[in-house]
Structures are given as C-alpha cells and as structure tokens.
Structure 1
Amino acid sequence: MKDVKCAPGLLLAVAVAGAATVVGGWLPVVGGPVSGVVIGVLVAAVRRPGERLRPGIATASRFVLQLAVVILGCQLSLARVVEVGGGSLPVMVGSLAACLGAAYLVGRRLGIGGDLRTLIGVGTGICGASAIAAVTPVIGAASAEVAYAISTIFLFNISAVLLFPFLGHLLGLSQHAFGLFAGTAVNDMSSVVASATTYGDEAGQYAVVVKLTRTLLIIPVCLGLAALARRRAAVTAAGTAHPAQRTSGAPRPNVFALVPWFLVGFLLTALANTVGLVPAAAHHGLNTLSVFLITVALSAIGLSTDLGGLRRAGPRPLILGAVLWGVVTVTSLALQFVTASW
C-alpha cells in the first residue's frame, strides 16, 4: 500500500530527472543533477506538488539518494586509493579541514544556519552534489537548503572550469600538479574532467583518480556529523526529560547506530570493486545509474523546495561559497608547494 502511495510522486521525480539528463547531455559542464534541481524548482514555482505526490517525492529525496551513494562506491578501487593517497592525501585532507573550518567560522559570522553552511562546506571541500547527497539524510537538511547549496557549488564549479587552466599555466604547474589541483579544488566530476582535460590528457587522468579518492572523505565526515546529530538530540531529550529521569543514568548509545546504512553499503561496494567482484564492463553502466539516481533525488528536492526560504536566505550563502572556493583554491596550491607536489 505504501508503494502505491509513493508511485505518483516517484514517477514525477523520474520524469523530471529524465528531462534533466537530456539537458545535462546538451550541457555536460552543468550535468544532470544540477539540471534536476533547477527543473524541479521551476516546476514547483509553476505548481507546487500536492498531497498525493508528496510521499513519492519524499522517498526519492531520501531513499533513492542513499541508494545512489551506495552505487557510487562501485567506481572506487581501494588499492588505487592507497596508491594515489600517499601523494595526494595531505593536500586533500588539508584542503578539506581548511574548508570546513572556514565554513563554520565565516558561516556563523554571516548568520547562515548550521545545516546550510555544512552543506556548502562539504560540497566545496569534498565532491559537490555527491557529498551533499550523502550528508543531507544524515543532518536532515531542508529542501531549500539543499537546492541553495547545490546552486552555489555549481556557480563556482563553472568559474573553476573557466579560470583554473589559465591559473595553472600562469603558475607553471606540471600535468601531475594540475591534476592534483583540479582533483582537490574542483567539485563535481564533470567539472573536474572539463578543467583538467583542458590542461592536458595526463592531468585529466590523474585528476579523475584524485577526485574519486577524495570521495572516500565522505565517510569520516558523515560519521562525525551523525555523532554530532545524535549528541544534540540526546542533549535536547535530556533537557525536556523529567528531573528524576535525568539523574537515573541514560543508557549509552549504540556505536553502530551512528553509522548510516548507506555509508556501510558505499564501503562494501568499493571493497567489492577492489577485489574484482564488480566486472570492469559494468563500471560505465553503474556510474550512469548512480548519476541518474542522484538526479532523481535532486529533482525531488527541487520539487519540494520552499522558494520563500530561498528568497529569505538572500546573497549570504553565495558569499560563503565564494570565500570557501577561495580557501580551497589557495590551500590546495599552498600545500602542493609545501609538500613538493608541484
């Protein structure tokens, strides 16, 4: 019965995702997921989905999103991650730490809510729409916040595609150095490929591996956010509990409950790919499926977006996105110089 209730809204999200995939094919730098959010928001602006459509839209924006993250793991080889990680990990981790720190400090100064600054931070610091897709169900972010974060990330992805090759030539970066730079400082895969291959084939190949390795940083970030969310919920519950209940000694939380199921699935599919259980011939199809599922989920988020919330947010999230883009760019280049990866 629940499946029947979900069908109309789920079909609408799939239809929007289909249109978005076509648009993404015409404009590969934009891509299907971003197009899905935009088309979904436009549809919602013309006519907000009614009660009959909402269960399916909610399923698409949560479960389908989580399933897409699991399938995303099929692209990763943990052996290749170890091979590349030795040289790129300091740059990736350092850039991420600087980005998340700046997101917290600058976001608070700008008066941006915790969920929105988290989404912009992880989207800029890890891997754009994929990271936002993984973090959204962990922190329970609102649709308007997800839409604004993805739009912000997209704007600076386009800027990176246009400016980074010029910057690389200006600084005299080698193919290897620019591949590492693009893989750590550009977000969505389409933009990484567009920027790095413009610089050179060798840069493009290395940037893709760095980008996929960077995707693994989703796991510790999501675990940390899940732990924080549980802790805040426990504090809130303790604050509203009866005094006698507060002193009786609350049970310790189950550590395994902190781990979202889809992150376990993501790691298992990456492990399966590493040991050869995922045929090489299936990689392209699984990648296409993962991108389409993310597009379905983000289309659903666009359909359920509160346009009033976007207007109320104003330009401050864009300012935060610009600051974080600058922080990641400068940090990536500086760490390459310090670690002699240049």
Structure 2
Amino acid sequence: MQIPQLSSEQKLLYRKIVFLLAAGFCLTPWASPPIALMLGILLALTHENPFHRISRPAAKHLLEASVIMLGFGMNLAVVLKAGASGALFAVGSISATFILGYFLGKWLKIPIKASALISAGTAICGGSAIAAVSSVINAAESEISVAMGTVFVLNAVALFVFPPLGHALHLTQAQFGTWSGVAIHDISSVVGAASHYGQSALYTATAVKLSRALWIVPISAAASYIFQRQQSKSGDVIHKPQVPWFIGLFILASVVRTFIPEVASWSPVVTHVSEAGLTLTLFLIGAGLSQRMLKAVGWKPMLQGVMLWIFISATSLGVIVLVVH
C-alpha cells in the first residue's frame, strides 16, 4: 500500500501543530530551561520553524516581560546588593574582554566588526549587546550572523555546564548567582542556569546580569565613536544605541514589591509565571536557530568566542570565590 504524499499546505500545518504542542509542553511542570532550549533547537533543525517571522520578536518581548515580573519577587535591598557586587567586576572584566578580543581578532584575522560583536556579546549580555552594537557600527548581516551564532552555541553549552560545575566547586548561592551573571552571555541562559541552582542564586544572577546590561549604552556609544570615521567616509548612517528600558521597569517592580506589603503576598505566583515565561523564551530562542546561522560560524570566530568565554569565566570565578561569600 502506497503512503500518500502530503501537500505543502499539509506539511506546514503539521509543522505548526508540532511547534505549538512543543511550546505548550514548555509551560508544564515537566519542562525545564535546558529541555526547552534543546527542544527548540531540535525542532529548528529537523522541522524548521513555521513561525520564524514572529518567534524572534516574541522571544524578545516575552523575555523582557518575564524579567520585569521577576522584579516583583525580589526585595530592593537584594537587587541593589547584587547589582553593586556585580558592578565591582564590570569595569575590569568588560575592558579586559574587549582588549583580549581585539588582539585575538587580529591574530585570527577575523573582520574587525565581527570580532567586536563577539567581544560585546561575551563581555556584556549576549544577543542584546550584539544587536545594539551592530546597529551603531552598521555591521553586515553576515557579521551579525557570525557573532549571534557563536554566542548562541556558547549560551546553550553554559546552560548545561554551569550548574554541575557550581555544585562540583561547592559554590554558595551568592557565588554561583554572581558568576552566572558575569560569565554567561544572555539573560535567558543566566536565569535558566541559576534557577536550577536555587532561588537565591536566581535573584542574584538576574540583578548582576541586568546591571551589566546597562553597559550596552556606553559601550555602544564608544563603538559608534571608534567606527565613526569609517562610517562617515562610506556615507553610512550612524544610529543611536538601543537603550534596555525594561531594566528600569524591573527595578520599579522591585520597589513596588518592597514598599507595598500587599504585593509581597502574591509575588510567588508572579515569580512562577515569570519562570514559566522564561522557559518558553528559551524554547523560542532555540527554535530561532537556523542552518544559515550555524554555517556562518567558522572555526576562527568560534575559537575567539571560546577563548574569551574561558577567560571571563575563569578570572571572574577566581575573584568571586575570594570576595563573595
């Protein structure tokens, strides 16, 4: 008996049903951040994303909304303390990452804009930093794909590697949260890894990563100034850096939770919804992976990304173990 072939419309409908069922599974208690990410990657590589035009902006807005909701579960004192401890590492680690990235890029003969984007993604906050910096230096789509692909792969690795490493090294909740916030690229993977380690680690990691995300603005401004001559000669338009406004709303949510007692009573429910939203975000991020993005990442950009990641992970861990308790 011959199996009938599906039409293109039926195949698309099938892919949409599979995608929606997988997304729904990510909202259940059986799903975890690593499972959601891998499920999204698996679907992207085997079935293609039938909602590719809306999944990326949806992931961005869902991530921002989930982070804001996390603020309702965090006392302002915790946010300020964690942010201050992370700020101690920010100037030194960000500067050192960019300097090392520049010399690695020259040594590996990587195009300067692609190298700068990889450094920005490693030093600050992954894809958000790459998007912001690329807009002010007018990076080509191929250069953005190289940087995004490199950071994506390392983010996925971090989500699985960091929690076991933290337990093996007997890191405290505060130590692991600070380390995750400094050394893992994207806020989505930071929250995913820290939530596995513990509630206190989650709050610390979120505050530390968001305090680093504020560096998008000065770094983008500096990148715009450095590349300004080249852009003005070529006639390119210089864009303003993108400001991560949702961080201000996260702090405002924490202020509300701290000073309005009624809010604290339902903050656990909001936190639970936020964590479910972040799990779904990781699924959407994984589903946004494409064969083109993976092909764009050669061994040289990946080597630069890995070396920068090892550098910031090892140096920050050494300082954190000595300073944070």
* % identity of equivalent residues: 18
Distance apart, 1:212 and its partner CA: 0.7
Indicate the residue corresponding to 1:207 in structure 2. Answer: 201
1:39 maps to 2:43: yes
1:83 maps to 2:87: no
Equivalent pairs counted in the alignment come to: 288
Question: Unmatched 5+ residue regions in structure 2?
Answer: 1-11, 136-140
Indicate the residue corresponding to 2:107 in structure 1. Answer: 109
Q: Deviations over 1:216-252 (max 9, x none)?
A: 13533322354356557864563245xxxxxxxx9xx
- C-alpha spacing 1:19/1:112, structure 2 compared with 1 (3 Å): farther
Q: Map 1:1-342 onto structure 2 (within 5 A).
A: 16=19, 19=22, 22=25, 28=32, 30-33=34-37, 35-44=39-48, 57-61=52-56, 63-71=57-65, 72-76=67-71, 77=74, 78-91=76-89, 94-113=92-111, 117=115, 120-121=118-119, 124-126=122-124, 131-138=125-132, 139=134, 142-143=144-145, 145-166=147-168, 168-169=169-170, 176-177=174-175, 180-186=178-184, 188=189, 189-194=191-196, 197=197, 204-227=198-221, 231=225, 235=229, 238-240=232-234, 257-260=240-243, 263-276=244-257, 280=267, 281-293=269-281, 295-299=283-287, 301-302=288-289, 305-307=290-292, 310-311=294-295, 313-336=297-320, 340-341=323-324
Return the alpha-carbon distance in structure 1 between the equivalents of residues 318 and 25 of structure 2: 39
- C-alpha spacing 1:266/1:178, structure 2 compared with 1 (3 Å): closer
Return the alpha-carbon distance in structure 1 between the equivalents of residues 98 and 68 of structure 2: 23
Q: Deviations over 1:195-214 (max 9, x none)?
A: xx4xxxxxx34422221112
Corresponding residue SS for 1:258:
coil
The amino acid that maps onto 2:68 is G
**Retained in 1: the 8 A contact 2:26–2:279?**
no
Distance apart, 1:118 and its partner CA: 5.2
The amino acid that maps onto 1:74 is M
Q: Deviations over 1:242-273 (max 9, x none)?
A: xxxxxxxx9xx89xx5344xx22342243134
Return the alpha-carbon distance in structure 2 between the equivalents of residues 174 and 80 of structure 1: 16
Return the alpha-carbon distance in structure 1 between the equivalents of residues 276 and 224 of structure 2: 34
Q: Could you tell me the TM-score, scaled by structure 2's length?
A: 0.67
- C-alpha spacing 1:269/1:228, structure 2 compared with 1 (3 Å): same
**Retained in 1: the 8 A contact 2:108–2:300?**
yes
Distance apart, 1:154 and its partner CA: 1.9
Distance apart, 1:42 and its partner CA: 3.3
- C-alpha spacing 1:235/1:161, structure 2 compared with 1 (3 Å): same
Return the alpha-carbon distance in structure 1 between the equivalents of residues 93 and 84 of structure 2: 15
Q: CA RMSD in A?
A: 4.2
Q: Deviations over 1:177-197 (max 9, x none)?
A: 455445544562232344xx4
Distance apart, 1:285 and its partner CA: 1.3
Distance apart, 1:69 and its partner CA: 4.1
The amino acid that maps onto 2:70 is Q
The amino acid that maps onto 2:204 is V
The amino acid that maps onto 2:78 is R
Return the alpha-carbon distance in structure 1 between the equivalents of residues 227 and 305 of structure 2: 28
**Retained in 2: the 8 A contact 1:20–1:35?**
no
Q: Deviations over 1:289-316 (max 9, x none)?
A: 34424533552x32xx353x63353323
**Retained in 2: the 8 A contact 1:115–1:145?**
no
